Amino acid sequence: MLTLNNINVYYGAIHALKGISFEVNKGEIVTLIGSNGAGKSTCLKTISGLLRPKEGTLSFKGNDLTAVSAPEIVSRGISQVPEGRRIFANMLVSENLDLGAYLRKDKAGIKEDMEKVFSLFPRLKERRRQLAGTLSGGEQQMLAMGRALMSKPELLLLDEPSMGLAPILVKQIFSIIQEINSLGTTILLVEQNARMALSIANRAYVLETGKIVLSGDSKELMESEEIRKAYLGG
């Protein structure tokens, strides 16, 4: 479904992604794990069009995405939940969700999806008339995910959904990710919390300083000695 081939991304002189290649198949949960600064977020930003690769190709459902603008990528069916949530704190919860559906014109479908989001995240329904900035961290994460789902993506990119959340909330968020996946959305998940990510993913890629150093079935990776030492705390 999504294929990255030899992607190289630079921030000025810094070579952030050094020839990354991987793929995500329809229906999967794939996770990119790695420590701080490994290039995980850069990778997602490149897919969603916020950054441009200097070399390499990026394709989605057989169409080249390399030169496609970020708004156009949303309309092609890829939606990103950015790191740090990046909700519009100055707007209502309901307005945040409306913005998620910015490119859609099917009013009935939007309404239906809004209900779906509310059934996944009942807290958002209770708080839909509140300013998004007044939500707690966990609720903001839910809003960011709900907002991304409003574009009805085929592929959902999640950047560090567990960041800054209490363990119980992390569990809740991850079970919702599984639920979203079971409803038919393919998921590419970037996480520092490798244990949680591997526990729900089908496959995983391990990034280190801009390169993929390991990949495979998540269960196998979870057993691997290297991963246990480097990412799972022994």
- What is the smallest separation between the CB atom of 144 and another protein, expressed in angstroms? 9
Q: Looking only at residues 157 through 196 of this chain, which bind another protein when binding is defined by CB under 8 A?
A: 164
Give the range of 16-24, 46-54, 115-123, 216-224 binding another protein by CB under 8 A.
46-54
Binding residue (CB under 8 A) for another protein from 20, 93, 135, 180: 135
Q: Which is nearer to another protein, 78 or 197 (CB)?
A: 78
- What is the smallest separation between the CB atom of 142 and another protein, expressed in angstroms? 13
Binding residue (CB under 8 A) for another protein from 11, 52, 64, 84: 84
By CB under 8 A, tell whether 80 contacts another protein: yes
Q: How far apart are CA 44 and CA 50, in angstroms?
A: 9
By CB under 8 A, tell whether 91 contacts another protein: yes
How many residues are recorded in the chain?
A: 234
For 139, other C-beta atoms within 10 Å of its C-beta total 22
Q: Which residue has the tokens 């057993």?
A: 223
Q: Which is nearer to another protein, 71 or 216 (CB)?
A: 71
- What is the smallest separation between the CB atom of 114 and another protein, expressed in angstroms? 15
Closest CA to 32 of 173, 182, 201: 201
By CB under 8 A, tell whether 71 contacts another protein: yes
Who contacts 192 (Cβ-Cβ below 8 Å, separation ≥6)? 33, 34, 35, 36, 160, 162, 163
Q: How far apart are CA 34 and CA 12, in angstroms?
A: 22
Q: Which is nearer to another protein, 47 or 227 (CB)?
A: 47
User: Where does residue 142 rank: exposed (0-12), middle (13-18), buried (19+ CB within 10 A)?
Assistant: buried
Binding residue (CB under 8 A) for another protein from 39, 49, 53, 146: 49
Q: Which residue has the tokens 């839909």?
A: 128
Binding residue (CB under 8 A) for another protein from 11, 54, 70, 226: 70
> Token digits for 82?
């950015």
Q: How far apart are CA 65 and CA 174, in angstroms?
A: 29
Give the range of 44-52, 168-176, 183-191, 211-219 binding another protein by CB under 8 A.
44-52
Label residue 220 left, alpha or beta by phi (over 0 means left) and psi (-120 to 50 means alpha).
Answer: alpha
> Token digits for 5?
């081939």
Binding residue (CB under 8 A) for another protein from 26, 86, 111, 219: 86
> Token digits for 91?
């707007």
Binding residues for another protein, rule: CB under 8 A, are 48-50, 69-71, 74-75, 79-80, 82, 84, 86-91, 95, 98-100, 102-103, 133-137, 140, 147-148, 151, 164
